[in-house]
Amino acid sequence: MKRKGLLASSPVGAAGFALLLALGGCTATPQQMAEAPATPAAPKPPAPGLPVLDKAVSACDNFFLHACGVWMKENPIPDDQSRWGNFQVLAERNMVLLREILDDAVAHPKPETAKIATFYAACMDEATVEQQGLAPLQPLLMRITAVTSLKQLGQLTGDLHDMGVPVLFSFSRMQKFSDAVQTIAVADQGGLGLPDRDFYFKTDAKSKEQRQAYIAHIARMFTLAGDTPEEAQRRAQAVMAFETRLADAAMTRVERRDPTKRDNPTTLAALAKQTPAIDWQAYIKAVGAPAFTDMNVGNPAFFKTLERTLRDVPLDDVKTYLRWQVLHSAAPWLPNTFAEENFDFYGRTLAGAKQQSPRWKRCVNATDGALGEDLGKYYVEKAFGPEHKARMLTMVADVQSAFQDRIGQLAWMGPETQAKAREKLANMPNKIGYPDKWRDYTTLEVKPGDLWGNVARADGFNKRYSLARIGKPRDPTEWGMSPPTVNAYYSPQQNNINFPAGILQPPFFDFAADDAYNYGAIGGVIGHEITHGFDDQGRKYAGDGNLANWWTEEDGKRFEEKAQCLVDQYSGFQAAEGVNLNGKQTLGENTADNGGLSIALAALKKHLGPRMEEKIGGLTAQQRAFYGWAHIWCAQERPEARRLQALTGVHSLPEFRVNGTLSNMPEFAEAFNCKPADPMVRGEKACKVW
């Protein structure tokens, strides 16, 4: 399921880069569940409404520092984090609540909570993990060693994918580009250990240094697994060479932003003919997908290179690569020497975190990743009531209504395209909080004292649940995030907007705060997700989710011209020394930020009417809305994390999501009496698409 989130989502339960950015680093780890420290008190949510302002910084000079400067001083980055902002603070509060739920499930066994309790307890049982060592992986490692021909790779790759080990390529399901009601299989690029294909090729000093650190990390992991230092070094070089060949054929992140480049319908028979090194029938059976004929290939050139690579590279090197990917994926769930080595590269070297997260955090996140809806229903009971959902539905309706009004006010868009835009917006349902029907995890086997096995079986269970929809119509009730997730997303092929209960908490949605604050905060998020349906990618999908051009040629050109303004603006923002934001890579999110907040403000004006001028705390409703927007983005990052996000992320850094957006809005300059020459006023250079 392709989706566009408010933040980059990090799959819980996966090894390496994504996991470590999500979890950060560590404090002391308990040896047994019985030795685990008492659940700490949850961080206190901020007071309703406005942030504490830095009066020393003018709103017209730097609104981010004006609104967030005090917050940043009072909230230094914890050692186990590479970034720390209100997203992370809320995620931490949610995590503490989830831990309370899990601790209670362990202490008071019940049939209905048995799976989440057993999974969490096995994760927290560090003594058993240490005692088992590499034993849980040995059957798989021995199977890789026993491979004697490429013919065996099909089934082996399928089994590895079923366990969550992302070797060689990716395989999943998607909605058909030309008929989004239909669910089909998709094979795509994958198999890399570094965060992005460009990490293998960039020639700046930092990139070269990180590549050498990656090779050293691989060698240390092989050494921990029993290789001699000489063998480990040779094998690390072989892994790097193999992955570099795959990376060379991978599309860049900017290229993948164009869905037309990923629209390559074919058949399984045709793919099998092009890549005979992979036994696709054996693969499909192993990964648990139903039989199918039609499919999509996201990057055909990648599979041509994969075929050549498997034919050219010695089989022993292919096996070395597979062995590395198993160690890499399993590392967080292995003894501490492996987990710490994994963190040292992905968490410390790449992201700048200083310590690994406490074990309880890693285990809470792993349980959420494995049994998200089973755990999530207990979170919802405690954190999200029907009155919260009702108020959210009102705001969503208001923002959608304001977007309908805005379409008719666009001088650059002709009547024909406007009619299509209204049609798409009218066909954009929303999901609030949690699923109407919870998933059934009855067939997922969870065993005491079997952490790696539980993680692998959960990955397989969730993958097979997803693949089972191949050949079936799409399910509009399905969720792509668990209820406690602090994020939101738009699905272009479902054409719907989705807001998990996890983000519908202070400071994003503060039930005790006034409407102005909430329309600037969660209202801006609602507008952001709606606008994704009309950003540089979303606009290429029609209201039924099909990839189709519903724009006149003239209107399409005008859109591209207006979007280029945002590309140029955000490309000028420096993220770290020698690294600027990539305006093309972040265009969709920047379009959604700018359009979303503007629409949310229009919705607020319509909602309050003459009450817009009523002051609370000496501030007008418009001013409070702008503070609400800034407040949710209060954050700071370590230099390594800033660089990593600029190179790999589709989201701009928080200060640019605030200052970049507000400097384009004449309403902001008016609200704070800013002068034309002030830094927060772009004036004639202001960018505005929606």
pLDDT in the model for residue 3: 67
- Would you say residue 11 has pLDDT above 60? no
Contact 578, 588 (CB under 8 A): no
Total domain count, the chain: 2
- Clarify whether residues 555 and 429 are in a common domain: yes
- Clarify whether residues 572 and 676 are in a common domain: yes
Instruction: Show which of 333, 365, 397 is a domain's final residue.
Output: 333
DSSP 8-state code for residue 29: -
CATH (domain of 647): 3.40.390.10
- Would you say residue 29 has pLDDT above 80? no
Q: How far is CA 509 from CA 74, 365, 506, in A?
A: 22, 23, 5
- Clarify whether residues 67 and 160 are in a common domain: no
pTM value is 0.91
Give me the percent of the chain exceeding a pLDDT of 90. 92
Residue carrying the six token digits 């309403």:
667
Residue 233 belongs to a domain: yes
What's the rounded Cα separation, in Å, for the pair 191 and 569? 34
- Clarify whether residues 392 and 280 are in a common domain: no
- Clarify whether residues 262 and 389 are in a common domain: no
- Would you say residue 36 has pLDDT above 90? no
What's the rounded Cα separation, in Å, for the pair 599 and 591? 12
Provide the pLDDT confidence category of residue 126 given band limits of 50, 70 and 90: very high
- Clarify whether residues 428 and 308 are in a common domain: no
- Would you say residue 534 has pLDDT above 90? yes
What's the rounded Cα separation, in Å, for the pair 221 and 232? 8
Compute the C-alpha angle 181/184/186, nearest 5°: 135
Provide the pLDDT confidence category of residue 49 given band limits of 50, 70 and 90: low
Residue 229 belongs to a domain: yes
Residue carrying the six token digits 């009066």:
55
DSSP 8-state code for residue 152: G
- Clarify whether residues 326 and 254 are in a common domain: yes
- Clarify whether residues 61 and 155 are in a common domain: no
- Would you say residue 608 has pLDDT above 70? yes
Instruction: Show which of 333, 351, 366 is a domain's final residue.
Output: 333
Which two structure tokens, joined as six digits, stand for 170?
């990716």
CATH (domain of 207): 1.10.1380.10
* Digit-coded pLDDT (tens) for 133-156: 999 999 999 999 999 999 999 999
Residue 28 belongs to a domain: no
* Digit-coded pLDDT (tens) for 159-184: 999 999 999 999 999 999 999 999 99
Instruction: Show which of 274, 300, 333 is a domain's final residue.
Output: 333
- Clarify whether residues 295 and 206 are in a common domain: yes
pLDDT in the model for residue 48: 63
Provide the pLDDT confidence category of residue 15 given band limits of 50, 70 and 90: very low
**Secondary-structure breakdown of the chain: helix, strand, coil percentages, each rounded to the nearest 5:** 55, 10, 35
Provide the pLDDT confidence category of residue 30 given band limits of 50, 70 and 90: very low
- Would you say residue 32 has pLDDT above 80? no
Residue 654 belongs to a domain: yes
- Alpha carbon 20 to chain centroid, angstroms: 13
Q: Mean pLDDT for the chain? A: 93
- Clarify whether residues 401 and 274 are in a common domain: no
Any idea which of 318-322, 580-584, 613-617 has the lowest mean pLDDT?
Answer: 613-617
Residue 560 belongs to a domain: yes
- Clarify whether residues 276 and 416 are in a common domain: no
> What number is the average pLDDT over the span 519-541?
97
Q: Label each residue of 33-61 as H, E or C.
A: HHHCCCCCCCCCCCCCCCCCCCCCCCCCC
Residue 379 belongs to a domain: no
Residue 113 belongs to a domain: no
Structural domain span for residue 283: 149-333
The three-state secondary structure class of 188 is: strand
pLDDT in the model for residue 51: 80
The values of phi and psi at residue 273, to 5°, are -70, -35
> What number is the average pLDDT over the span 313-322?
98
Count of beta carbons in the 10 Å neighbourhood of residue 452: 21
- Clarify whether residues 154 and 278 are in a common domain: yes
Residue 647 belongs to a domain: yes
pLDDT in the model for residue 8: 59
Provide the pLDDT confidence category of residue 14 given band limits of 50, 70 and 90: very low
